[in-house]
Structure 1
Amino acid sequence: MTVRLPADLAGQLEKLTQATGRTKSAIAVAALRDYVEAESWQIQDIEQGVAEADRGEFASDSEVNAFFAKYGA
């Protein structure tokens, strides 16, 4: 995979490699792993919510009103 970085980010990456002794690839893999994990969690949560909605699992009006009353909204 080839990635073109903006000059400022490339400079920051270079400084980080020098400071940590890690390669650019190692830093990129760690960053991508964190990003993919975060995005996967969000996608999974959204898919779960859509599946619940498809099954008709919604909060009642009284449950929604009680929630907002509790938190002052």
Structure 2
Amino acid sequence: MEKVNVTVRMDKDAVAQLDEFAKSDDRDRSYLIKQAVDSYIRMRKWQIEDIKKAVAEADAGDFASEGEVEMMFQELTR
């Protein structure tokens, strides 16, 4: 996988906090930033896929009936 350099401007306090975390984890700042970006990408991909599935279900008319919604509401409010 080809790697590229990216430059980011961050708040001084955030960088200091990152450095503290990096030191306690015996890692460097770059490692923590890459880890955070990877986590964000995985989360967003999951959200987008989940939204696409929900839209497909809605487009197909796959909705809960009024009775199913009422039963679920009763279960959750007991």
Shorter-normalised TM range: 0.7 to 0.9
Aligned to 1:64: 69
Alignment gaps of 5+ in structure 1: none
The CA deviation at 1:17 is 2.8
Aligned to 2:20: 15
Alignment gaps of 5+ in structure 2: 1-5
Q: CA RMSD in A?
A: 1.5
Aligned to 1:44: 49
Aligned to 1:55: 60
Aligned residues: 73
The CA deviation at 1:69 is 1.1
TM-score calculated relative to the size of structure 2: 0.81
TM-score calculated relative to the size of structure 1: 0.85
> Identity rate of aligned residues, in percent?
37
The CA deviation at 1:47 is 1.1
Q: What amino acid is aligned across from residue 72 of structure 2 in structure 1?
A: F
Deviations 1:11-61 (A, max 9, x none): 111222333332222111111111111121122111110110011111111
